[in-house]
Amino acid sequence: MITNLNTGAIIGTNIVVARSFWQRFRGLMGTSLLNPGEGMLFPHTNSVHMFFMKYPLCVAYLSRDYHVLRHVVLKPWHIGPVVKGAYWVLELPADLHDRVALGDSLRVEDIQYEE
């Protein structure tokens, strides 16, 4: 689960961490939408692309300790910015864009690791 410590808002309840090369490459490609509470967290990442995606995403760039450095809504077939200092990238449904703000601190717990 991911919670915004600044507002208390629950950001996601079913977050998957993409650890392997294949998981990171595939990401959310091939999915038709994210259900409420779903998302994907990419470690060691400071930029993402939206090639082959069918829907927009809220993309939050996080420091190693889960502070929001930048967040944007990315549309399909666009490339996100490279964010200096980002360690994690969190992809969420686009309608959650207003639950994350620059400088917010997030709590990350009980996340899933894909096998």
Which portions of the chain are predicted below pLDDT 70? 111-115
Residue 104: predicted pLDDT: 97
d(CA 114, CA 38): 13
pTM above 0.75, yes or no: yes
The tokens of 71 are what?
């967040």
DSSP one-letter code for 34: P
Residue 52: predicted pLDDT: 92
Helix or strand run (H / E) with residue 22? helix 21-26
Give domain 2-113's CATH superfamily. Answer: Protein of unknown function DUF192 (2.60.120.1140)
Q: List, in sequence order, the alpha helices (H) in the chain.
A: 21-26
d(CA 115, CA 113): 6
Q: Which amino acid is at 90?
A: L
Residue 97: predicted pLDDT: 87
